[in-house]
Amino acid sequence: MASTLEALQRWVDDVAALTRPAHIHWCDGSNVEYQTLVQQMLASGELVELNQDTHPGCYLHRSHPSDVARVEHLTFVCSRDEQDAGPNNHWMAPAEAHSKMDALFDGCMEGRTMYVIPYCMGPIDSPLARCGVEITDSPYVVINMRKMTRMGALAQARIEREGTFVKGLHSTGELDPERRFIMHFPEELAIKSYGSGYGGNALLGKKCHALRIASWQANQEGWLAEHMLIVGIENPKGETHYIAAAFPSACGKTNLAMLIPPEGYRRDGWKVWTVGDDICWMRPGDDGRLYAINPEAGFFGVAPGTSNDSNPNALSTIARDTIFTNVAVTADNQPWWEGLPGTPVTDWQGRPYDPANGPAAHPNSRFTVSAKQCPTWSPKAEDAQGVPISAIVFGGRRPSLLPLVMQANDWTHGVLMGAAMGSETTAAAAGAVGVLRRDSMAMKPFCGYHYGDYFSHWLSFDRPGAKLPKIFHVNWFRKGEDGKFLWPGFGENLRVLEWMIGRIDGTANGVHSPIGTVPAKGELRTEGLAVSPNALTELLDIDLAGWQAELTAIGQYLESFGARLPQRLRAEQQRVAQALGDAAQPSRRAVAS
């Protein structure tokens, strides 16, 4: 199936001449194609059939032990001007990057099939959606892209109609860690990835296109491509507010996207709707509001930590028609990872399970599944115009200082909140414990251009006629003196979201402070909540001296972006620092007297 678009056909021909495949297959996205590829991979051993009685349509893929995660140190943004990539990215000159990659691609598909995958990120008829074509020699990539994107004939038809697409070239190569690179060419709308078969390195529609290239596109075209979940909160009146939320890894994004309300809330009629768990594209609508789509059609989620206790909706979602990667297997051939009942007999590498070899499932083992299988999936996820966003939420893992929730004074203050967000390292990560790593808007590994320009782009949405979402910051991870979490998290987080909706609707007053507005006494619903009044007070406490030190550190962080840091953001940091100093003065005078 050739293409009627000359630019697409010429590119496919050029790639074929370079990589020299034995066969070329244009993917149509059909179920017949999917089942044929699955059978081929079962025969070759690339897939293992799981228990079809307990997990119908589910299969296991084991990647090479050296190829189990994103390789950020080998990921480059190859803008023409090094300054445009910014200090937040690794940079390589485009000509050098193309030369390096083309040398690796030379003849790399000999004896293999070259798959041409037209895909659409977002609903196929959405003006917010953007299309791409990935060329790959991996059937694993094809079957995953079918679940993660709108892939095949309809996407190709849109590409041929519009005449523009992101070009993604991928080969697993020899899976040699020394010959593994992911290059992004923003001005060319192009990606080249070699030497990895793993998720984000190989499924080029995901982080490569939907964040690194799309963030650059969004900056050029006046929209936002963000590392955010999208969740709808429906109150007992039947009104639904859509919230976009950005968290660094290990802060519960998927759990929040699929949140199950506490029993009392369910009884009252509260409902939660999942639009997306990872990526959010937002664009101003004619009415001045921001409208968002989830560009993805599936979930590529981390399996460990997904359990009946933490996220029963996710567990239900992946009970059928799911591709598992690097999980363990039980005696009756069911997928297994730490946190699930049962006992593994085979680990993620296919070896008999031995605790001496480490966890049975790889800590970054994954599931790929259609989003429509989620019990809380929102049909609005297919709306071409997207859903209107009422609130943007930033969050991080901070054991102290940051309150449970605070609302920004205005858009500029909210952008500062997002720029300053981060998490403190835990014992689970290599290196020192308790070190704060800032991860502005949770986009540090994914922003395809200079962070200073990115902050300016965010600020540019605050213009006459804009009806922007309210911005909040949450911290589910504050700890007491005993080292235990003060807030139970999970479904109880709906109590915090309810307060946010009250602020949006004007029914919650809050208490103003120099760092933002926090809930007033009694404004957070506590019926059925196992949190003491003292713990609740501590969760919302504002340590003025601690915050003064924090604002100084935020200022130093912002200065690292040099001349491209917007003056407006620097001024906002100074304004908050001044307000904190003024608030601390009375307490200093009281001490002096």
DSSP assignment of 402-432, as one string? Answer: S-SEEE-SSHHHHHHHHHH-EEE--TTSSS-
Determine the Cα–Cα distance for residues 287 and 480; give it in Å rounded to an integer. Answer: 44
pLDDT at residue 424, as a whole number:
86
Cβ density class 457-493: b for 16+ within 10 Å, e for less: bbbebeeeeeebbbbbbbbbbbeeeeeeebbeebbbb
70 confidence band (pLDDT: 50, 70, 90): confident
Helices (H) and strands (E) in the chain, counts: 17, 30
Determine the Cα–Cα distance for residues 343 and 350; give it in Å rounded to an integer. Answer: 15
- The amino acid occupying position 337 is W
Tokens (6 digits) for 170: 């991928």
pLDDT at residue 350, as a whole number:
98
591 confidence band (pLDDT: 50, 70, 90): very low
Q: What is the pLDDT of residues 468-527, one digit of tens each?
A: 999 999 999 999 999 999 999 999 999 999 999 999 999 999 999 999 999 999 999 999
pLDDT at 429 over 90: no
Token pair 């309150």 is at which residue? Answer: 403
pTM: 0.96
Rg (CA), the chain: 24
45 confidence band (pLDDT: 50, 70, 90): very high
pLDDT at residue 586, as a whole number:
66
Q: Please compute the mean of the pLDDT values over residues 352-381 and round it to a whole number.
A: 97
pLDDT at residue 250, as a whole number:
75
Q: What is the pLDDT of residues 103-137, one digit of tens each?
A: 999 999 999 999 999 999 999 999 999 999 999 99
Question: What architecture (CATH level 2) is domain 226-298+379-546?
Answer: Alpha-Beta Complex (3.90)
Q: Is 305 helix (H, G, I), strand (E, B) or coil?
A: coil
1 confidence band (pLDDT: 50, 70, 90): low
pLDDT at 592 over 70: no
pLDDT at 590 over 60: no
Determine the Cα–Cα distance for residues 558 and 555; give it in Å rounded to an integer. Answer: 5
Determine the Cα–Cα distance for residues 116 and 22; give it in Å rounded to an integer. Answer: 14
First to last CA, the chain: 85
Question: What architecture (CATH level 2) is domain 6-46+70-222?
Answer: 3-Layer(aba) Sandwich (3.40)
30 confidence band (pLDDT: 50, 70, 90): very high
Share the mean pLDDT of the chain: 95
Which residue out of 251, 280, 374, 447 is catalytically annotated?
Answer: 251
pLDDT at 589 over 80: no
Listed by start position, the domains of the chain span 6-46+70-222, 226-298+379-546
Determine the Cα–Cα distance for residues 591 and 63; give it in Å rounded to an integer. Answer: 63
| Residues pairing with 388 in the sheet | 291
Determine the Cα–Cα distance for residues 309 and 280; give it in Å rounded to an integer. Answer: 27
**361 φψ region: left (φ > 0), alpha (ψ -120 to 50), beta (else):** beta
Q: Is 9 helix (H, G, I), strand (E, B) or coil?
A: helix
How many alpha carbons fall within 13 Å on the CB side of residue 268?
A: 14
- H-run or E-run covering 361: none
Tokens (6 digits) for 287: 């009415």
Could you give the C-alpha distances from 482 to 29, 475, 533, 580, in angstroms and in order? 54, 18, 16, 28
Q: Please compute the mean of the pLDDT values over residues 173-179 and round it to a whole number.
A: 93
Q: Is 58 a catalytic residue?
A: no
Q: What is the pLDDT of residues 267-306, one digit of tens each?
A: 999 999 999 999 999 999 999 999 999 999 999 999 998 9
